[in-house]
Structure 1
Amino acid sequence: MILEICVDDVAGLEAAVRGGADRIELCAALSGGGVTPSAGFMQRAATYGLPVSVMIRPRAGDFVFTRDEADVMKRDIDAARVAGLSGVVIGASRADGSLDMLLLEELRRHADGLDMTLHRAFDVAPDMEEALEAAISLGFPRVLTSGGARSALEGIETLARLSDVAKGRIVIMPGAGVRPQSVQALLDRFPITEIHASCSAMPSYDPESMVAKLGFTGAGRKATDEAAVRQLKAILTSRHKGGVAL
């Protein structure tokens, strides 16, 4: 049972490692859904001895990328490789929301030798079963998905259906809003081998500080909660061993 924790700063990275994460998804600006982190952050993440997958997304917003953006994405894949990280998290859509098979194949070839995750661009696909077959044909080991809902718990029935369709050909990794309080419902509904969470909480800061007054705190920014990571890891470990999660 693999617990992947997504983080967007060094403090979050350290909290995830201390809490027992099995794999890290490295991002910047998680409040906007996550974009590619800096080369310096990639290099720092490489020193922790854990598998690290880097979000390859040049901007927030939709997943319809121009040729110039595709070139940036390939350079960011190169940066992840140079940093010595184990994988990349990629996705791309056409204007109708379907997967951009040509660009994804191009990025897949460029990332050859790295672990790959298809990110939640999958969730905007108009036909998720068709998108799943496309992801399998492209050779993705896993897809990160909420079942097309705002949270994995809300999309639980779709996730269960996708798991049935996958038949072990690709890992369905639930993500979005996964917390210690909600994970048991997912575990009880369909077979899970990998799960994705941020385990984040609102950081405390002084609203009267100049940093806050000048708008530098970052709207919606959250911090990784080490205790939540540890609790989630304990539930997954107990489940894997056949025990009773408390």
Structure 2
Amino acid sequence: MEKEIALADIPTMAAAINAGVNRVELNANLEVGGLTPDPDTVVKAVQLAAKSDIDLVVMIRPRAGNFNYNYDEIETMRRSILTFKSLGVQTVTFGIVDEKGRLARHHMLKLLEASKPMKVVCHMAFDAIDSTCQLQALQWLHQYGVIRVLTHGGALQAGIEETLPHLQEIVAMAPKGLTIMPGGGVSYMNAIEIAAVLGVKDVHGSKIVRLP
């Protein structure tokens, strides 16, 4: 099982690596769901990930709230992507959803182009996509090279147990080769059970391993 932890500082990253995580999603401001971290922290995280031989994913999210960004916010995201690429980051995560609850493809394309040759993950912005548009979104993301989708299967206010049925539908809908990774309420206490129910190998959470 690939255990990915969401965290926001280097001491926690070091502790998580010692506790057995396979992958780190680096954020700032986890209390609002994670925002773009500062370059100094990213540099240290890149070094620690390389030294520890684990994967590092860096969050690209300019503000809290919805995922419908204006031109200036998208430009800020693009500049962050280019900066982190120059710092040695190999994977970034982002998502943009329009006011109608659809994947904002033209904005996504702009950021996907800026990300090359880095790998790209779509984060929980996916859950803001209308359920009737999610199959099409999964197909599009896979077509344009996104490797993984992080999803709670519904609103974060709902417990993971409540969203499991829709998560099962998302896993079934996903094109072959696109990894679906459950998150939001997944922890070291329930990860094995959730992965088994969904038939997935990747799990995500801020408590995916027990930290000291």
> How far apart, in 2, do the equivalents of 1:199 and 1:112 lie?
31
> Could you say which residue in structure 2 is the equivalent of 1:217?
none
Pick aligned residue for 1:141 from 129, 144, 147 = 147
Runs of 4+ in 1 over 3 A off after TM superposition: none
How far does the alpha carbon of each residue in 1:92-148 deviate from its partner, in whole angstroms, 9 at most, with x for none? 010122110001011011101111100111001112223222322322111000112
Max Rg structure: 1
| Residues 35, 58 of structure 1: 8 Å contact kept | yes
> Could you say which residue in structure 1 is the equivalent of 2:45?
45
Q: Offset at 1:167? A: 4.7
> How far apart, in 1, do the equivalents of 2:26 and 2:139 lie?
26
For structure 1, which runs of at least 5 residues remain unmatched after alignment?
201-223, 228-246
For 1:88-99, list aligned pairs within 5 A: 88-99=92-103
> Could you say which residue in structure 2 is the equivalent of 1:188?
196
Amino acid at match of 2:161: L
| Residues 51, 85 of structure 1: 8 Å contact kept | no
> How far apart, in 2, do the equivalents of 1:86 and 1:16 lie?
20
| Residues 188, 210 of structure 2: 8 Å contact kept | no
TM-score, normalising length: structure 1: 0.78
Q: Check if 1:226 corresponds to 2:199.
A: no
Q: 1:167 to 1:93 in 2, by over 3 A?
A: closer
> Could you say which residue in structure 1 is the equivalent of 2:128?
124
For structure 2, which runs of at least 5 residues remain unmatched after alignment?
none
How far does the alpha carbon of each residue in 1:45-85 deviate from its partner, in whole angstroms, 9 at most, with x for none? 01112221110001111111111111110111112112212
TM-score, normalising length: structure 2: 0.90
> How far apart, in 2, do the equivalents of 1:56 and 1:37 lie?
8
> Please, which moves more after superposition, 67-76 or 142-151?
142-151
> How far apart, in 2, do the equivalents of 1:22 and 1:182 lie?
17
Q: Check if 1:16 corresponds to 2:16.
A: yes
Q: Offset at 1:225? A: 4.9
> Could you say which residue in structure 2 is the equivalent of 1:102?
106
> Could you say which residue in structure 1 is the equivalent of 2:177?
169
> How far apart, in 1, do the equivalents of 2:76 and 2:211 lie?
33
> How far apart, in 2, do the equivalents of 1:167 and 1:134 lie?
10
> Could you say which residue in structure 2 is the equivalent of 1:114?
118
Alignment: residue pair count? 204
> Could you say which residue in structure 1 is the equivalent of 2:80?
76
Q: 1:108 to 1:167 in 2, by over 3 A?
A: closer
| Residues 142, 175 of structure 2: 8 Å contact kept | no
> How far apart, in 2, do the equivalents of 1:59 and 1:145 lie?
19
Q: 1:79 to 1:153 in 2, by over 3 A?
A: farther
| Root-mean-square deviation over aligned CA pairs | 1.7
Amino acid at match of 2:67: F
